[in-house]
Amino acid sequence: MVTKQSKIYIAGHRGMVGSAIWRQLSDQGYTNLLGFTSAEFDLKDQQAVKTFFEEKKPDVVIDAAARVGGILANSNYPYQFLMENMQIQNNLIDAALQNDVEKFIFLGSSCIYPKMAPQPLKEEYLLTDTLEPTNEWYAVAKITGIKTCEAIRKQFGKDYVSLMPTNLYGTHDNFDLKTSHVLPAMIRKFHEAKENDNAAVTLWGSGTPMREFLYVDDMAASVIFALENVLPEHLYNVGTGVDRTIRELAELIQKVVGHTGEILWDAEKPDGTPRKLMDVSKMHDLGWKHKVELEQGIVNTYNWFLENINNFKEVKMS
Flag whether 91 is marked binding: no
Flag whether 16 is marked binding: yes
**β-pairing verdict for 210-211 and 244-245:** antiparallel
The pTM assigned to this predicted structure is: 0.93
Can you give the pLDDT at residue 312? 63
Flag whether 284 is marked binding: no
Flag whether 181 is marked binding: yes
Flag whether 14 is marked binding: yes
Residue 125 annotated to the active site: no
Q: E-strand spans in 60-150? A: 60-63, 103-107
List the pLDDT tens digit at each of the 318 positions of the chain: 899 999 999 999 999 999 999 999 999 999 999 999 888 889 999 999 999 999 999 999 999 999 877 777 777 889 999 999 999 999 999 999 999 999 999 999 999 999 889 999 999 999 999 998 888 999 999 999 999 999 999 999 999 999 999 999 999 998 988 778 899 999 999 999 999 999 999 999 999 999 999 999 999 999 999 999 999 999 999 999 999 999 999 999 999 999 999 999 998 888 877 888 999 999 999 999 999 999 999 999 999 999 998 876 444 433
Q: What is the set of domains in the chain, with CATH numbers? A: 8-172+212-243+275-292 (3.40.50.720)
Among the options 138, 160, 215, 302, which is catalytic?
138
The residue type found at 99 is: N
Burial pattern 250-271, b for ≥16 Cβ within 10 A else e, equals bebbbebbebeeebebeeeeee
Residue pLDDT, tens place only, 35-82: 998 888 899 999 999 999 999 999 999 999 998 777 777 778 899 999
C-alpha Rg value of the chain to the nearest Å: 19
